[in-house]
Amino acid sequence: MATTEAVLNSIDANRDAAVGRLFDLLRIKSVSTDPAFAAECRRAADWLAGELRGLGFAAEVRTTPGHPIVVGHAKAKRKDAPHVLFYGHYDVQPPDPLELWTSEPFAPRLAEGEQGKEIVARGASDDKGQLMTFLEACRAFKENGGLPCNITFLFEGEEETGSPSLPEFLAANKDELAADLALVCDTGMWNAATPAITVMLRGLVLEEAIVHGPSRDLHSGLFGGPVVNPIHVLAKIIADLHDADGRIAIPGFYDGVAELPEDVADQWRALDFDEAAFLAAVGLTEATGEAGRSVMEKVWSRPSCDVNGVVGGYTGTGSKTVLPAKAGAKFSFRLVGKQDPEAIVEAFRAFVRERLPRDVTVEFISHGASGAMQLPFGSEPLNRARRALHAEWDKEAALIGCGGSIPIVGAFKRDLGMDALMVGFALADDCIHSPNEKYALTSFHKGARSWARILAALAG
Ligand code: BES
Ligand code: MN
Ligand code: MN
């Protein structure tokens, strides 16, 4: 087996070619939420399968009820090598609002930024750039004597819409996807100099509620007063969701939420999270939410509930005296610990139904429900990854939580019995999901080197 040094040198030598390959992937407009881009999603899947085959790995594009899933298999050089499943997503968020981009979202370019050179394009960071760090590490092994681990590749195209097809795919392909450990590159660093392993990831429940009142839109003069207004009903329900201490008032909501273990809490305190800067970056000065808890704790290890959108009545220019027949809202719940997504859905729906006046009905639409994920502290793969990251960045890796969600990660544990080692190189100002998304060239390059070291470390 080639030394890790040779593999790292090969990553260095192929730097420009690697950027070129990522640019090819970034040119594909694989927006998963909009059916108009379905063919582009297919193209991204084909492209990735082509890359895997180009490396001499077996790879297939599997169709699903939604966008296709790419599955690949690569054998390690050694027979007794560990087996990892690498997961990434090739789909991206819509680039809108287009007018706020300084260049075309699907015409990747290199720009000079605060962190030096940056790759600017939709998906540069989330998740095409991150996914390719892993492929580039594999390429370097392949060209230098072979892989240290057996690898199953799993690339999906529906992460940004909640991974609706993936759970069934996992269940139907349990044997093929079995591995010792999942590796996920879809999270961030602590800061530009400090690598991180994400050991806690929040789950996500997405619910839409549409409240119906009168049988049609009414004149608010002729009917206002005696007639129930669905917007008022919905607004009251939304107001009731949080109590005066910022806690979520749905009965049973906190079942399965545990206090942070003391050693983790200590580590997090040592990171010295700057709350004022976190708030100032978005134009604010005061934190909300549960009383008596730090911002970091609230984002990383406490559940939350947000209304993501409200519609109803007349919202056009000028005024219209209408008493609307219906009103709707979209809700997101971020889950932690052992909170049960299905139980949260039921509790939320009951909470809403209990607050409906006579004659008012509600219709619910589920947009997904996934649980939180927690990597056992002090596990062997975690320690090996820590040492590997330390060697690459010359700095101890931070063990962090993450407020965002990767819907399928909970299912890796539940359905495949695998923990997920989440290592990513995104930076807080990468503008993922926003205009001018970018990925630092150092993230891309040292990310690939980091994976090379992690794979070598996992193989021992
Ligand atoms: N990669 C992100 C999640 C993330 C963001 C992890 C920042 C770590 C740091 C992922 O692609 C994402 O955007 N998830 C969505 C899922 C939703 C659209 C179903 C989320 O968290 O909102
Ligand atoms: Mn992502
Ligand atoms: Mn995303």
Distance 398 CA to ligand 3 centre (A): 22
Distance 40 CA to ligand 2 centre (A): 18
Q: Which ligand is closest to the CA of 204, given by its number?
A: 1
Mean pLDDT of 371-392: 94
Residue 331 has pLDDT above 60, yes or no: yes
Which of 103, 125, 203 lies closest to 410, judged by CA? 203
Q: What is the pLDDT of residue 2?
A: 58
Q: Is residue 29 a contact partner of residue 89, using CB atoms and an 8 Å limit?
A: no
Q: What is the pLDDT of residue 127?
A: 98
Q: What is the pLDDT of residues 17-65, one digit of tens each?
A: 999 999 999 999 999 999 999 999 999 999 999 999 999 999 999 999 9
Query: Cis omega (within 30 of 0) on the bond before 97?
Result: yes
Which of 392, 256, 167, 437 lies closest to 423, judged by CA? 392
Distance 89 CA to ligand 3 centre (A): 9
Distance 333 CA to ligand 1 centre (A): 13
The per-residue pLDDT of the chain, averaged, comes to 96
**Could you tell me the pLDDT band of residue 377, with boundaries at 50, 70 and 90?**
confident
Q: What is the pLDDT of residue 115?
A: 85
d(CA 284, CA 276): 8
Q: Is residue 420 a contact partner of residue 375, using CB atoms and an 8 Å limit?
A: yes
Look at ligand 1, atom 14, and give the residue with the nearest C-alpha. 405
Lowest mean pLDDT of 127-136, 153-162, 266-275, 420-429, name the range: 266-275
Q: Does the C-beta of 430 come closer than 6 Å to ligand 1?
A: no
Distance 324 CA to ligand 2 centre (A): 38
**Could you tell me the pLDDT band of residue 219, with boundaries at 50, 70 and 90?**
very high
d(CA 254, CA 344): 9
Domain ranges of the chain: 4-201+373-458, 203-257+303-370
Q: What is the pLDDT of residue 62?
A: 98
What share of the chain in percent tops pLDDT 90?
A: 94
Residue 1 has pLDDT above 80, yes or no: no
Q: What is the pLDDT of residues 159-170, one digit of tens each?
A: 999 999 999 999
- Atom index in ligand 1 nearest the CA of residue 202 equals 21
Mean pLDDT of 350-374: 96
Q: Does the C-beta of 402 come closer than 6 Å to ligand 1?
A: yes
Q: Is residue 296 a contact partner of residue 271, using CB atoms and an 8 Å limit?
A: yes
Rounded alpha-carbon distances, angstroms, from residue 451 to 96, 140, 440: 32, 11, 16
What share of the chain in percent tops pLDDT 70?
A: 100
What 8-state DSSP symbol labels residue 282? T
One-letter amino acid for residue 91 of the chain: D
Distance 186 CA to ligand 2 centre (A): 5
Mean pLDDT of 318-329: 98
- Atom index in ligand 1 nearest the CA of residue 405 equals 21
Q: Does the C-beta of 162 come closer than 6 Å to ligand 1?
A: yes
Q: What is the pLDDT of residue 263?
A: 83
Assess if CATH 3.30.70.360 describes domain 203-257+303-370. Answer: yes
Distance 159 CA to ligand 2 centre (A): 7
Q: Does the C-beta of 188 come closer than 6 Å to ligand 1?
A: yes
Q: Does the C-beta of 160 come closer than 6 Å to ligand 1?
A: yes
Q: Does the C-beta of 405 come closer than 6 Å to ligand 1?
A: yes
> Which fold does the domain 4-201+373-458 belong to in CATH?
Aminopeptidase (3.40.630)
Mean pLDDT of 87-115: 97
- Atom index in ligand 1 nearest the CA of residue 162 equals 19
Q: Does the C-beta of 159 come closer than 6 Å to ligand 1?
A: yes
Distance 228 CA to ligand 1 centre (A): 38
Q: Does the C-beta of 252 come closer than 6 Å to ligand 1?
A: no
Q: What is the pLDDT of residue 287?
A: 97
Q: What is the pLDDT of residues 350-361, one digit of tens each?
A: 999 999 999 999
Q: Which residues contact 391 (CB under 8 A, 6 or more apart)?
A: 453
**Could you tell me the pLDDT band of residue 234, with boundaries at 50, 70 and 90?**
very high
- Atom index in ligand 1 nearest the CA of residue 404 equals 21
- Atom index in ligand 1 nearest the CA of residue 198 equals 8
Mean pLDDT of 146-164: 97
Q: What is the pLDDT of residue 262?
A: 87
